[in-house]
Amino acid sequence: MFTLHFKGKEISILSPVVMGILNATPDSFYNESRKQSIDEALSLTEKMLNDGATFIDIGGQSTRPNSNIISVDEELKRVIPTIEAISKKFPEANISIDTYNAVVAEQAVEAGAMMVNDIGGGTLDEKMFETVAALGVPYICMHIKGTPQTMQQQTNYTNVIDEVKDFFAEKIQQAEQVGIKQIILDIGFGFAKTIEQNFELVKHFNQFTSLQKPLLLGVSRKSSIYKTLGITAQEALNGTTVLNTISVLNGANILRVHDVKEAMEVIKLAQYFR
C-alpha cells in the first residue's frame, strides 16, 4: 500500500493499478497509442478510464530507440492542449506527463497534470529534480543510460540487477535531498538493456521491493516481447500479459500499458495468488 498526494487530492493504492498510455506523437512504436487530435485523445481517455485506469500518461516526445528529438516548443504544442482538454472533460482523471524536459513538466502540471514520469531519471535535464520538488507532485524515476538515441549502445553491465538498484539508490538520495517526497521507480525495460537483460530484470523484479518505493513496470508491446516471439507490436498483447502477470506477482504496483482492460484482468486474477 502507498498513498500519493496531488494538489490536495489523495490516492491510497491498496493493490496494483494501471496507467494507460496516450501518445500525442506521430511516431511512437505502437500506432494504436498515437492520438494527435484532441477528439482522438478524449475518446481513448474515456475508454481507458472506463476500463479501469487509475492514471493516464500523456507524452509528446517519442522515446523509442533512435527516435527523432523534437523541440521543447513542439512538445508543449502536442501535450498542453491534450492535458487541458482531458482535465476539462474528465476532471476525475489523474494525468501523468511523460517527459524528460523540466519546462514541459512544469507547464504540464500547471495545465492539469498531477505527476511527472521522467524516462531520464533526472539525467537528461539537470533542472528536473528541482522543478519537481517545487511542483510538489509525485515523480516517476526511470533507469536509463545515455539517451533514446544512444542507449542501445550502452548495455554493458557486470550485474544488471545490482547496477539498476545502485542507480535508484543514488537518484532517491539526490531527489529527496532537493525535496521530492513521492518517488516511484521504473526499471526501464527496453532502455539501455538487451533482451536478455530485460527478462533478467523481470525475473528478479521482487529484488527492487527492498528499495521501499512503489514500483512501476512498462513492458507493454515492447520489442523484447515481439522480437522474441517473432511477431509484431500489434500482436504482442498476449506476451505483454505474461510479463505483467509475473511482475505483479513479484511486487509491481503500477502497470503502464496500452491495453487497460487486459491489465486490470491480470491484477484481479493475480490478487488470488499474492
Cite the active site residues.
222, 256
Helix, strand, coil percent values for the chain (each to nearest 5): 45, 15, 35
Q: Which residues, at least 6 apart from 186, have a Cβ–Cβ distance to it below 8 Å?
A: 117, 119, 140, 141, 142, 143, 215, 216, 217, 218, 256
Determine contact, residues 215/251, Cβ cutoff 8 Å.
Answer: yes
Close Cβ partners of 110 (under 8 Å, ≥ 6 residues apart): none
Decide: 25 and 65 in contact? Cβ < 8 Å. no
Q: Cα dist. 252→53, 110, 214 in Å?
A: 15, 29, 8
CA 41 to chain centre: 18
At 147, is the secondary structure helix, strand, or coil? coil
Grid cell 504544442 in the structure block, residue: 77
